[in-house]
Structure 1
Amino acid sequence: MIWPIARYLAYLPANLVFVLLSYALSPLLAALSLATGPKLPGVLQWFSTLDANLDGGISQRVKGYRGGLSGWRLWWQRTCWICRNPAHGWQSELLGMPAAGSIILRQVISDTPKNQWYVMETAKGVRFFCWKRDQPLFGGIYLKLWFGWVNRAYDGRNHHYAFQIGPKRA
Structure 2
Amino acid sequence: MIGAVLRYLALLPINLTFVFLAFLLSPLLGAISLLAGPRLPGILQWFSTLDADLDGGISQRVKGYKAGLAGWGLWWQRTCWICRNPAHGWQSELLGMPAAGSIIVRQVISESPKNQWYVMETAKGVRLFCFKRDQPLFGGFYLKLWFGWVIKPYDGRNHHYAFQIGPKRS
User: Same-fold call, TM > 0.5?
Assistant: yes
Write out aligned runs for 1:102-113 (5 A).
102-113=102-113
Rounded to whole Å, the distance in 1 between the matches of 2:2 and 2:100 is 23
RMSD in angstroms over aligned alpha carbons?
0.5
SS in 2 for 1:22: helix
Q: CA deviation at 1:151?
A: 1.1
SS in 2 for 1:50: coil
Q: CA deviation at 1:153?
A: 0.7
Write out aligned runs for 1:11-160 (5 A).
11-160=11-160
Unmatched 5+ residue regions in structure 1? none
Q: CA deviation at 1:111?
A: 1.2
Q: CA deviation at 1:155?
A: 1.0
Which contiguous aligned blocks of 4+ residues in structure 1 show a shift greater than 6 angstroms? none
Q: Which letter maps to 1:26?
A: S
* Deviations 1:29-66, CA, capped at 9 Å, x for gaps: 00000000000000001000000000000000000001
What TM-score do the two structures reach when normalised by structure 1?
0.99
Rounded to whole Å, the distance in 1 between the matches of 2:15 and 2:105 is 26
What TM-score do the two structures reach when normalised by structure 2?
0.99
Unmatched 5+ residue regions in structure 2? none
- How many residue pairs match? The answer is 170
* Deviations 1:111-163, CA, capped at 9 Å, x for gaps: 11111000001100000000000000111110000000011111111010000
